[in-house]
Structure 1
Amino acid sequence: MDDFWVFGYGSLMWNPGFPFEERQRARLFGYRRALCIRSNHYRGTEERPGLVLGLERGGSCLGVAFRVKASGRKPVLDYLRERELVTNVYKERLIMVSLEDGRRLNALTYVADPCHPQYVGGLEVDDAASIIRNAEGSSGPNSDYVFNTVEHLKAIGIRDVLLEKIAAHVEDDAGAK
Structure 2
Amino acid sequence: MVFWVFGYGSLVWNPGFEYDEKVIGFIKDYRRVFDLACIDHRGTPEDPARTCTLEHIEGAVCWGAAYCVRGRPEKERAAMQYLERRECEYDQKTLVDFFKETDPLRPALSGVIVFTSTPDKVSNKYYLGPAPLEEMAWQIATAVGPCGNNRDYLFSLEKAMFDIGHEDDLVIELANEVRKVLGTMAKEKKLVGSPLKPLKSQTQPQIPTVQLHLLPPEAVAMDL
Find the structure with the greater CA-based Rg: 2
Alignment of 1:156-175 (within 5 A): 156-175=164-183
Contact 1:24 1:100 in 2 (8 A): no
Aligned to 1:142: 150
Q: Residues 70 and 113 from structure 1, CA distance in 2 versus in 1: closer, same or farther, beyond 3 angstroms? A: farther
Residue 28, structure 1, aligned to residue 63, structure 2: no
Q: 1:103-157 CA deviation, whole Å, 9 max, x = no partner?
A: 2422111012212121123222112102112211112221121112211221222
Aligned to 1:97: 98
> Normalising to structure 1: TM-score of the pair?
0.88
SS in 2 for 1:122: coil
> Normalising to structure 2: TM-score of the pair?
0.71
Structure ranking higher in strand proportion: 1
Bigger relative contact order, structure 1 or 2 (CA pairs below 8 A, ≥6 apart) = 1
2:79 to 66, 76, 80: 76
The count of corresponding residues between Structure 1 and Structure 2 is 174
Contact 1:25 1:99 in 2 (8 A): yes
Q: 1:47-98 CA deviation, whole Å, 9 max, x = no partner?
A: 221111112222221011112214332222122112112x4x3311211121
Unaligned runs of 5+ in 1: none
2:114 to 109, 130, 150: 109
Q: Identity across aligned pairs (percent)?
A: 32
| Corresponding letter in the other structure for 1:91 | Q
Unaligned runs of 5+ in 2: 186-224
Shift >4 Å, 4+ stretches: none
User: How many angstroms apart in 2 are the aligned matches of 1:109 and 1:120?
Assistant: 20
Contact 2:26 2:98 in 1 (8 A): yes
